[in-house]
Amino acid sequence: MKSCFFYFFLSIYFLIYTPLNAQTMSREQMIAYTSAWSGERFEDGRPKIPDSYLERAKNISIEEAWGAMRGQGYYNQFEGGWMMIHEDMPMTGRALTAQYMPTRPDINDMITKKGKEEGRIGASNSWPIDALQQGDIYVADGFGKIIDGTLIGDNLGNAIYANSGNGVVFDGSLRDLEGLERIEGFNAFVRGWDPSFIKDMMLTGLNTPIRIGRSTVMPGDLVLAKREGVIFIPAHLVEQVITQAEFVALKDEFGHLRLKQGKYTPGEIDTKWTEAIKTDFLNWIEENRDKLPMSKEELDNYLKTRTW
């Protein structure tokens, strides 16, 4: 309890007393707002989720991740209704966030001036791209704008893939679909496509908390984007969410197998398992240890907390 109060007051302190320019959070603020994460961080303070979890996340379902987070009280981390370049290409990565708003000249002039003082190059919609690291996904709140809301085309798409090895999630639109399709490994989840150029939009936040539809996204969240939607997993929950999702998938695989074999009835599999079924399942896991998605240590630790 004492630790919780410490981090709460630390967050308030940094919010009030640490200077925050119009574009980004300081490293100190980033650490304060993601204080539940205890692992490695990027230089800017973002949680650096291990690459191994990014790969494992591609194999879990949206439903399994959603269920695991709801169990922890996170109810607002999914958003659907996307258009994408490749429906059959899941995308996972660490969120690098950007917030755009309709242009207001006095604020935009200040942002542009501040950006030049910091040595930023080009228009503000290229600044997030310059900050991308390998394994990042560029996540932008473009306030749903389609016409004149095209945050990138194929030129910037190539730069994004070169810097991150990944794609984008934009609550906005893109242009140059045919050119973006030719970037091998690149995918995009967007609200629409339009041939227009970006217009009357200004970058008001870089690596700050943003809203994507009904979701709140923090820099460093694990982004899991699949055909049915995008889910944003807080960094400190990643290990737990992935392990739980993988375990649920194993239970489903076992249940489907035993149903096909006729060993159990649907009623037995779809309700609370008996001790006999639990034992059968654990024996099946032991027989298939070499095929499990998680390590033996991770599985054993998870089983200690499992209440079935």
130 token code pair? 């310059």
From residue 255, alpha-carbon distances to 263, 267, 268, 275, 285 in Å are 10, 11, 10, 15, 12
Give the separation between CA 166 and CA 138, rounded to whole angstroms.
8
Give the separation between CA 50 and CA 61, rounded to whole angstroms.
19
Per-residue confidence at 15, pLDDT binned at 50, 70, 90?
very low
Give the separation between CA 160 and CA 181, rounded to whole angstroms.
14
Per-residue H/E/C for 115-148: HHHCCCCCCHHHHHHHHCCCCEEEEEECCCCCCC
Domain boundaries, the chain: 51-235, 239-305
What's the rounded mean pLDDT across residues 29-34?
Answer: 96
Q: Which of 6-10, 20-24, 150-154, 181-185 has the lowest average pLDDT? A: 6-10
Cβ pair 230, 212 in contact under 8 A? yes
Other Cβ atoms closer than 10 A to 207 = 26
User: Within the chain, where are the H helices?
Assistant: 2-17, 27-33, 51-57, 62-70, 105-117, 127-131, 154-164, 177-181, 238-261, 266-269, 275-287, 296-305
- Go through 33-53 and write b for each residue having 16 or more CB atoms within 10 A of its CB, e for each that does not: bbbebeeebbebbbbbbeeeb
| CATH topology for the 51-235 domain | Glucose Oxidase; domain 1 (3.50.30)
pLDDT digits (tens, 9 = 90+) for 96-134: 999 999 999 999 999 999 998 989 999 999 999 999 999
- What is the pTM for the complete model shown? 0.88
Helix (H, G, I), strand (E, B) or coil at 187: coil
Per-residue confidence at 296, pLDDT binned at 50, 70, 90?
confident
Confidence (pLDDT) at 61:
94
Give the separation between CA 3 and CA 306, rounded to whole angstroms.
26
pLDDT digits (tens, 9 = 90+) for 133-177: 999 999 999 999 999 999 999 999 999 999 999 999 999 999 999
What is the sign, positive or negative, of the torsion defined by CA atoms of 56, 132, 170, 32? positive
From residue 93, alpha-carbon distances to 9, 26, 47, 166 in Å are 30, 22, 12, 7
Strands 173-174 and 192-193: parallel
pLDDT digits (tens, 9 = 90+) for 213-244: 999 999 999 999 999 999 999 999 999 999 99
Answer whether residue 20 shows pLDDT above 70. no
Nearest to 187 by CA among 170, 167, 169, 173: 167
Nearest to 107 by CA among 21, 171, 211, 26: 21
